[in-house]
Chain A
Amino acid sequence: MSTISIQNLSKSYGSLAALTHFSANIEQGSVFGLLGPNGAGKTTAFKCMLGLARADTGTVLFDGAPLEPHMFERIGYIPERSVLYDWMTLAEHLEMQRRAFSRYDANRARELLALFSLEPRKRVRSLSKGMRTAAAVVMAFAANPDILILDEPTTGLDPVNQRAVLKLMIDASAQGKTIIFSSHQIGQVERAAETIAILKEGKLLLSGAVDDLKSGWKIVEGIFESDQFSIDGISSDPDVQRIERTGRILRVSVRSDSDGIARRMTELGARDVRTLDLNLEDIFLGAVEARPKEQSLDVLR
Chain B
Amino acid sequence: MPSVFTVDPRSGVPIYLQLIEQVKRSVAVGALAPGEQLPTVKQLALDLTINPNTVARAYRELERDAVIETSPGRGSFVRSDGAQGVATKTRDDVARDAFSEAIREAKSLGLSRSAASALIAQTLDRWFPKEEASS
What 0/1 readout, one digit per residue, does chain B (38-59) give for beta carbons within 8 Å of chain A? 0001100110011111100100
Given known contacts A214-B12, A214-B13, A279-B10, is B53 in contact with A167 (CB within 8 Å)? no
Question: Hey, which chain A residues are within 8 Å of B35, CB to CB?
Answer: none
Q: Once the chains bind, are B46 and A277 in contact (CB under 8 Å)?
A: no
| B residues in contact with A171, CB < 8 Å | 42, 46
Q: Shortest Cβ distance from B10 into chain A, in angstroms?
A: 5
Is the beta-carbon distance between A276 and B42 smaller than 8 angstroms? no
A20 vs B86: C-alpha distance when bound (angstroms): 51
Closest chain B CB from A104 CB (angstroms):
24
Given A266-B108, A271-B108, A279-B12, the answer on whether A173 and B51 have CB atoms closer than 8 Å is: yes
Q: Does A24 contact B (CB under 8 A)?
A: no
CB neighbours of B53 from chain A (8 A)? 29-31, 173, 194
Convert A5-29 into 0s and 1s, putting 1 for each residue whose CB lies closer than 8 angstroms to a CB of B.
0000000000000000000000001
Within 8 A of B (CB), among A250-301: 266, 271-274, 276-282
Q: Give the contacting residue for A282; candidates B12, B46, B52; CB below 8 A.
A: B12
A51 interface contact, C-beta 8 A: no
Binds B, one of A65-73, A131-139, A144-152, A184-192: A184-192
Contacts of A266 in B (CB 8 A): 107-108
Which one of A166, A194, A214, A277 lies within 8 Å of B49 (CB-CB)?
A: A166
Answer whether residue A100 sits at the interface, using C-beta atoms and an 8 A cutoff: no
A279, B51: Cβ atoms under 8 Å?
no
A174 contact from B9, B42, B107, Cβ within 8 A: B42
Give the total of B residues in contact with A, Cβ under 8 Å. Answer: 24
B103 close to A (CB within 8 Å): no
Contacts of A210 in B (CB 8 A): 14-15, 51, 54
Asked whether, in the complex, the Cβ of A211 is within 8 Å of the Cβ of B15, the reply is yes
B:91-110 near A, CB below 8 Å: 107-110
Q: Is the CB of B12 within 8 A of A194?
A: no
Tell me the smallest distance from the CB of A150 to a CB of chain B, in Å.
15
A124 touches B (CB below 8 Å): no
Assess the A192–B51 pair: CB atoms within 8 A: yes
**In angstroms, how far is the closest chain B Cβ from the Cβ of A260?**
14
In chain B, what residue has the closest Cβ to A170?
B45
B108 touches A194 (CB 8 A): no
Q: A194-B53, A279-B10 are in contact. List 9 more A-B contacts (CB 8 A).
A: A31-B53, A167-B49, A174-B45, A192-B51, A211-B16, A211-B54, A215-B14, A273-B108, A280-B10
A-B contact pairs, 12 of them (CB 8 A): A167-B49, A170-B49, A171-B46, A173-B51, A190-B9, A194-B54, A210-B54, A211-B54, A211-B57, A271-B108, A276-B12, A277-B11
Chain B: residues with CB nearer than 8 A to chain A? 9-17, 41-42, 45-46, 49-54, 57, 107-110
